Amino acid sequence: MDPVLKSLIWKEWQERKWTFLVCLLWILTGVIYVVCYESITGCRTAAARYSTICLVYSIFMSVFLAMRVSLSEVTNETLAFSRSLPVPLSRIAAVKLGVGLCSLLVPILLGALILMLPLAGGMLEQVPGRANANASGADIVTIPGVEATLRTSLSAGIAVGLLLKLTCISLVQTGALFLLLCVAGARRRSEVTLGLLGTVIACVWFILLPLRAFFGPHFHFLHEWGGSIFPQSLVVFFTYSSENATWNDLYLANRVWLPLLLNLLLQAGLIIWFLRRYGTQNSVSVPGRFQFWKTPPLFSLISMPLPRPVFSLIWINVRQSVPLALAGLFLAGFLVLMETGGNLFDSRNSWEVFRHHLPGSMHMLGLLWATVVGAGVIGAELAPGLGHFWRSRPISVRSWFWLKYLIGLLAVLIVLDGTTIYVSWDTLFMSAEEKMRYSPSSILSWSYVVCVPLMHAMLYSLAVLGVCWWKKPVRGAVVAAVVFFMSSLLMESIPGVSNYDPFYVYNNLVQAERKGVFDLSLHHFPVVFGLIAGITLGAALLAFRKLQRLEF
């Protein structure tokens, strides 16, 4: 091997080895969860469950790795040194991209190889996917009170083949998202900018997952070949839950391998594009360049004299946090549009269909977006320049932090949860027959009103703590989300401990409410959500203490 290439690979590996370890730990935790949970509950959805874990993994880690691959030298101010080396920048970029892809994709492949062993040995089972998008997943698990002929499990060889196919889809879609984010970040000047932009792109990428179900088979070309552009749409996942278990069903495309091959060709184009763009961004912006098409920030046109500094602080924080929260609300609405598909337009009252499905989308998307708001409102002003500026103002650190924290928290709770509850309020008073038309987790319930805002507040506080701890917004948001979801997976995979998983408690409350029983003393709610409230407050206090000791 060329000594120069060997040195570049070694350098890049030293920078990425801890990220690779986190990726591997995430996937191995997911494999342990799949084996334990499937063995205990007998849901027979091992391959589908592993693929959903890989999907969530790709959304988070692709953003973080793309940020480091495309902008680490800009952040560390080593790009000028790299340009002075007798090595083309394109070669350096190729090594960074290759090591980044390996760090991201190798854990997925290793996890699939490990999971093949219990599948091939018959310890775990997998049922075939549904025949169409409108089928039901009630024939996978025996549900009390529901009569259905259960699907026959696949043979060991076919189950392993299905896992391989789903793993290939996961690898391709993860690589495509990562490369797209790298290209988007090649000419950015800040990791924070790419982090926020990447989060939006990743959310839209996730929202496009049910693309085939949205268009349906009557759009034959898009239904069969849309996966060549959006490979994540080649398999659509459906989640169901009962009092005893949660399981996943899948709707797999008829054509898989050729769309994946076409997408790999598109990825080759993205690689070439990235190699040409890497290191070519301007270090400073050019005044007046391309300014004619840019719109002013939200609320920037509203100007008013404010009598006291505290009111100015409140107004600045509102201008920063509310637009971030509104972006999350828009993405949740777009997710409803993709989930309901053509039913939204075929219905006589499309607004009713939309608002009844909005809580189900906001439940999970709000967890992610709460971390975005938490990282966004705190992180940008902890940079050295602004950090020195705020320390030089006659404003106490206490006032600055708590105003910023509370206004951001109110933005999450009012814009995301408050708007969702308001537009879906009459769902709470629908008859039992009307509620049966919807999935229990997709419509508004009293359990949602009590539980979900508390979980969103906890993720927001954890993101604020992560940002204050590392002074890096994207790292703080990713660590907060990863810790929460990995803890939930571990709890759900341990018998007895799974009863204290927040999602498990929430789903049980929803199921009981569907039967006409709403009692917050049941299903360990006081213990679990009391702990969540304590974590929320404790993370905020710890973030404040850390902020007082920061040096800029």
Report how far Cα 150 is from the mean position of its chain's Cα atoms: 32
Token code pair at residue 296: 């002013």
Residue 537 lies in a domain: yes
Q: Say if residue 510's pLDDT is above 90.
A: no
Q: Would the pLDDT of 297 be above 70?
A: no
Instruction: Among 106-115, 199-208, 243-252, 331-340, name the one with the lowest average pLDDT.
Output: 331-340
CB 231, CB 205: distance < 8 Å: no
- pLDDT, position 405: 92
Lowest mean pLDDT among 58-72, 116-130, 263-277, 282-296: 282-296
pLDDT band at 291 (very low <50, low <70, confident <90, very high): very low
Percent of the residues in the chain that have a pLDDT greater than 90, as a whole number: 27
Dist CA 155 CA 2 (whole Å): 48
**What was the pLDDT predicted at 203?**
80
- Which pLDDT belongs to residue 292? 41
Determine the Cα angle at 379 with ends 375 and 381, to 5°. 145
Do 239 and 361 share a structural domain? no
Residue linked to tokens 């007998």: 42
Same domain, yes or no: 214 and 318: no
Average pLDDT taken over every residue of the chain: 82
Q: Which residue has the higher pLDDT, 148 or 286?
A: 148
A 10 A CB-CB count for 6 gives 10
Please tell me the least confidently modeled range out of 98-107, 266-275, 515-524. Answer: 515-524
What pLDDT is stored for residue 269 in this prediction? 94
Tens of pLDDT, residue by residue over 45-74, are 899 999 999 998 998 889 888 888 888 787
Place of tokens 């509102």: 318
Q: Are residues 217 and 318 in the same domain?
A: no
Confidence check: pLDDT of 348 > 50: no
- Quick one: 79 and 118 in the same domain? yes
Question: Rounded distance, CA 178 to CA 205, Å?
Answer: 11
Average pLDDT of the segment spanning 81-88: 83
CA–CA distance, 401 with 378 (Å, rounded to integer) = 8
**Chosen domain end from 280, 298, 318:** 280
Read off the pLDDT of residues 351-364 as tens digits, 9 standing for 90 and up.
Answer: 777 788 888 888 88
CA 72 to chain centre: 22
Residue 329 and residue 243 share a domain = no
Examine the domain organization and report whether 267 and 316 are in the same domain: no
Q: What is the pLDDT of residues 527-536, one digit of tens each?
A: 999 999 999 9
HEC string for 390-406:
HHHCCCCHHHHHHHHHH
- The token pair at 249 is 């069903």
**3-state SS of 439-454?**
CCCCCCCHHHHHHHHH
pLDDT band at 227 (very low <50, low <70, confident <90, very high): confident
- Looking at residue 77, the DSSP 8-state letter turns out to be T
* 290 domain-assigned: no
User: Does residue 425 form part of some domain?
Assistant: yes
Q: How confident is the model at residue 383 (pLDDT cuts 50, 70, 90)?
A: low
Q: What is the DSSP letter of 154?
A: P
Q: Is residue 479 a part of any domain in this protein?
A: yes
Residue 292, in any domain of the structure: no
Rounded to whole angstroms, the Cα distance separating 534 from 42 reads: 35
The pLDDT value given to residue 416: 92
Least confident of 150-159, 181-190, 240-249, 405-414: 240-249
For 183-196, what is the mean pLDDT?
Answer: 77
Q: Which residue has the higher pLDDT, 375 or 106?
A: 106
- pLDDT for res 345: 47
Is the same domain home to 242 and 327?
A: no
Q: Point out the domain boundary residue: 234, 261, 280.
A: 280
> What span, in angstroms and rounded, lies between the C-alpha atoms of 194 and 421?
32
Rounded-to-integer distance, Cα 40 and Cα 34, Å:
10
What six digits make up the tokens of 356?
A: 């009844």
355 and 232, same domain (yes or no): no
- Statement: residue 328 has pLDDT above 80: yes
Model pLDDT, residue 136:
73
Q: Among candidates 74, 61, 258, which has minimal Cα distance to 177? A: 61
Which position has the higher pLDDT, 238 or 272? 272
Q: What is the pLDDT of residue 283?
A: 46
| pLDDT exceeds 90 at position 81 | no
pLDDT band for 168, please (50, 70, 90 cuts).
very high
State the maximum Cα–Cα separation within the chain, in Å, rounded to a whole number.
74
Q: For 428-443, how does the pLDDT look when each residue is reduced to its tens digit (9 = 90+)?
A: 888 777 777 777 777 8
- Would 461 be classed as within a structural domain? yes
Please say if the pLDDT value at position 491 is more than 90. no
The pLDDT-based confidence of 232 (bands split at 50, 70, 90) is confident
Residue 267 in any domain: the answer is: yes
Phi, psi at 303, each rounded to 5°:
-125, 130
Beta strands in 60-186 (DSSP E): none
pLDDT by residue (tens digit) across 265-278?
Answer: 999 999 999 998 88
Which residue range forms the structural domain that includes residue 95? 1-137+151-280
Q: Is residue 550 very low, low, confident or very high in pLDDT (cuts 50, 70, 90)?
A: low
Same domain for 409 and 505 = yes
Average pLDDT over every residue of 401-409: 91
How do 235-241 and 246-252 pair as beta strands? Answer: antiparallel
338 shares a domain with 268 = no
- What is the band of 140 on the pLDDT scale with cuts at 50, 70, 90? confident
Going by C-alpha positions, the residue among 52, 14, 55 that lies closest to residue 34 is: 52
Write down the pTM of the prediction: 0.78
Other CB atoms within 10 Å distance of the CB of residue 7: 13
Q: Which region holds residue 436: left if phi is over 0, alpha if psi is between -120 and 50, else beta? A: alpha
Q: List the end-to-end C-alpha distance of the chain, in Å, as a whole number.
A: 43
Is residue 129 in some structural domain? Answer: yes
Q: Do 252 and 376 sit in the same domain of this protein?
A: no
What lies within 8 Å, CB to CB, of 355 at 6+ separation is 423, 424, 427
Kindly tell me if the per-residue pLDDT of 313 is higher than 50.
Answer: yes
In this prediction, residues 345-354 reach a mean pLDDT of: 62
Q: Are 512 and 402 in contact (CB under 8 A)?
A: no
Least confident range from 87-91, 242-246, 452-456: namely 242-246
Q: Are residues 105 and 13 in the same domain?
A: yes
Is 381 in contact with 544 (CB distance < 8 Å)?
no
In contact, 104 and 26? CB cutoff 8 Å? no
pLDDT, greater one: 464 or 244: 464
**Domain total in the chain:** 2
- Per residue in 98-113, is it b (16+ CB within 10 Å) or e — as a string? ebbbebbbebbeebbe
